[in-house]
């Protein structure tokens, strides 16, 4: 508005001086020309100010983008380093697996070559000792009703109580009644265990049962 007032005042001065009479419409044209010039200068000033303001506004974003570029570059380095670590870990796992397999093979060899035979020897010695001691204990237990019989291993060292025969475990011979109640299949298997190599297993159930009682150290007999 201030620039417009200056232009109007200049036109009036021209009219009062008679310049408008010498050059027709000079005053109006002078006003329009001056106004246009001032408007152009104002637009240029406004544009420059806007540009400066925009630059000032965007500069933090530009700075953030630059910092983000640095972060991305650092992240790429970290990812590359992580890939190297993963590759190294895979190698270590493969190496460890090979060592475990080698160690497992060595352990199996030790078990099969040394430990297992030692265990078998120990079990056989235990069975031998049990075959000697249990019958002596059982001989003093009469019918086994008070203090029960102890387990007497078969000749091959097998402990028969619970031994699976015809998909069923053999019963424990804790008393004379337990021997008397053996089924035909059970008495056959017990007889074969205590008297291996015998071609003819007695057909008589009484004979088989009394032979089993004798084998476990019991001095009593049954007549069914």
CA angle 106, 110, 114 (to 5 degrees): 165
**Comparing 47 with 152, which gets the higher pLDDT?**
152
Tell me the percentage of the chain whose pLDDT exceeds 70.
71
Return the number of other C-beta atoms located less than 10 Å from residue 215's C-beta. Answer: 20
> Does the reported pTM lie above 0.75?
no
**How confident is residue 157, by pLDDT bands cut at 50, 70 and 90?**
very high
pLDDT surpassing 50 at residue 100: yes
**Length of the chain counted residue by residue:** 224
Q: What is the pLDDT of residue 125?
A: 85
* pLDDT above 50: residue 184: yes
Q: Which pLDDT score is estimated for 26?
A: 45
Residue 15 is predicted with a pLDDT of 53
63-98 tens-digit pLDDT:
777 877 877 787 787 778 778 888 888 887 887 777
| Alpha carbons 122 and 182: distance in angstroms, whole number | 31
Neighbouring residues of 219: CB distance < 8 A, sequence distance ≥ 6 = 139
Whether the predicted pLDDT of 19 surpasses 70: no
């Amino acid at each position: 508005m201030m620039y417009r007032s200056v232009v109007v005042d200049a036109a009036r001065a021209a009219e009062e001086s008679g310049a408008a009479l010498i050059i027709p419409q000079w005053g109006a044209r002078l006003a329009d020309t001056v106004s246009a010039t001032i408007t152009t200068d104002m637009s240029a000033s406004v544009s420059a100010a806007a540009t400066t303001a925009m630059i000032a506004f965007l500069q933090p974003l530009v700075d953030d983008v630059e910092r983000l570029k640095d972060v991305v570059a650092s992240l790429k380095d970290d990812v590359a380093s992580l890939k190297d670590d993963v590759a190294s870990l895979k190698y270590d796992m493969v190496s460890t697996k090979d060592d475990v397999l080698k160690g497992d093979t060595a352990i199996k060899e030790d078990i099969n070559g040394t430990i297992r035979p030692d265990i078998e020897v120990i079990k056989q010695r235990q069975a031998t000792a049990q075959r000697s001691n249990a019958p002596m204990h059982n001989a003093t237990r009469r019918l086994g009703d008070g203090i029960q019989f102890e387990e007497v291993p078969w000749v091959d060292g097998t402990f028969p109580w619970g031994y699976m025969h015809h998909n069923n475990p053999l019963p424990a011979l804790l008393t004379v009644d337990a021997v008397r109640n053996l089924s035909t299949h059970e008495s056959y298997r017990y007889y074969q265990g205590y008297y291996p190599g015998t071609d003819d297993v007695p057909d008589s159930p009484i004979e088989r049962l009394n032979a089993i009682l004798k084998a476990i150290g019991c001095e009593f007999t049954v007549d069914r």
